[in-house]
Amino acid sequence: MRLILLGPPGAGKGTQAEILKEKLGIPHISTGDMLRQVLKEDSPLSKKVKRFVERGELVPDEIILEIMKQRLSSADTEKGFILDGFPRTIKQAQGLEQLLKKMNKQIDLVLYFATSVEKIIERLSGRLVCSRCGMNYHLKNMPPKEEGVCDKCGGELSQREDDQEETVRKRIDVYLKQTAELIEFYKSKGILRTLDANRDAQEVYKELIRLFEKEGFNLKSNDFHKISERAESHA
């Protein structure tokens, strides 16, 4: 299965992507993770990316697509993948479509996580991020075992400046303007499905399972309840 997850910051895409990654056995691919991996390499592509990052500029679409081509050529994507945070623009969507066409592949579904501004602010204002490994936590929904300390690596947890209310509102406004065309692009292709992401993660996950089965993907499994419980704990 090849999926694209769309939705504003705080919509819960990452939570669902990690659960689906485990259930489906396909990689969760985010633009941020790809860029960080490329920056660790000593390659011509890495040098291209570093020039933009060091100047504080956005990496151009053509380079992002070059990185995506490299990532989607990996063996672990043969059975499918989950794209999170990509594409962000019509140009990227068209580039991805052409890239996949050359690989004799296509996107199966685009899932749009529709979320209210109030719910996003509630979620992001309580979000904590590990300074060492990037793991996300939430003061209310997913607190760490030890206050201020990452369960995974022991790193320090803190709130990002861009998770403060005023900044969140601006980010949402930018996102909605940027992706309006993108949503219409995939709707016109008949592969866009909208989810009510204002609900708890467990409820969103259950809707995803129903949606996949309705689309004919037959995702029934004995570990449904176990994974549903994990979704609730990571809301």
**Which positions are catalytic?**
13, 88, 127, 160, 171
Q: Break the chain into its structural domains and give their ranges.
A: 2-233
Instruction: Share the mean pLDDT of the chain.
Output: 86
Coarse DSSP helix, strand, coil percentages of the chain, rounded to the nearest 5 percent: 50, 15, 35
Banded pLDDT at 221 (limits 50, 70, 90): very low
The Cα–Cα gap between 209 and 220 comes to: 8
Instruction: Please give the Cα distance from 152 to 169 (Å, whole number).
Output: 30
CA-derived radius of gyration, the chain: 18
Q: Given pLDDT bands bounded at 50, 70 and 90, which one contains residue 184?
A: very high
Residue 94: how many CB atoms within 10 A of its CB?
14
Roughly how many angstroms between the first and final C-alpha of the chain, as a whole number?
24
Give dist(CA 129, CA 110) in Å, integer. 27
Q: What are the distances in angstroms from CA 61 to CA 12, 91, 212?
A: 25, 7, 31
Q: Which residue, among 118, 154, 125, has the nearest Cα to 139 in the 3D structure?
A: 125
Q: Among 95, 103, 81, which residue's Cα sits nearest to residue 24?
A: 81
Backbone angles phi, psi at 190, to 5 degrees: 80, 15
Kindly report the number of other CB atoms within 10 A of residue 77's CB atom.
17
- 18-66: pLDDT as tens digits: 889 988 899 999 888 888 888 888 888 899 899 888 887 888 899 999 9
- Cβ proximity of 168 and 121 under 8 Å: yes
Q: pTM for the full model?
A: 0.78
Q: Is the distance from CB of 235 to CB of 19 less than 8 angstroms? A: no
Q: Does the pLDDT at position 233 exceed 60?
A: no
pLDDT confidence tier of residue 227, bands split at 50, 70 and 90: very low
8-state DSSP, 54 = H
228 or 103, greater pLDDT:
103
Give 149's strand partners.
146, 156
* 109 has pLDDT over 90: yes
For domain 2-233, the CATH superfamily is P-loop containing nucleotide triphosphate hydrolases (3.40.50.300)
Inter-residue contact 127 to 142 (CB < 8 Å):
no
pLDDT digits (tens, 9 = 90+) for 63-97: 999 999 999 999 999 999 999 989 988 999 999 99
Beta pairing partners, 82: 3, 28
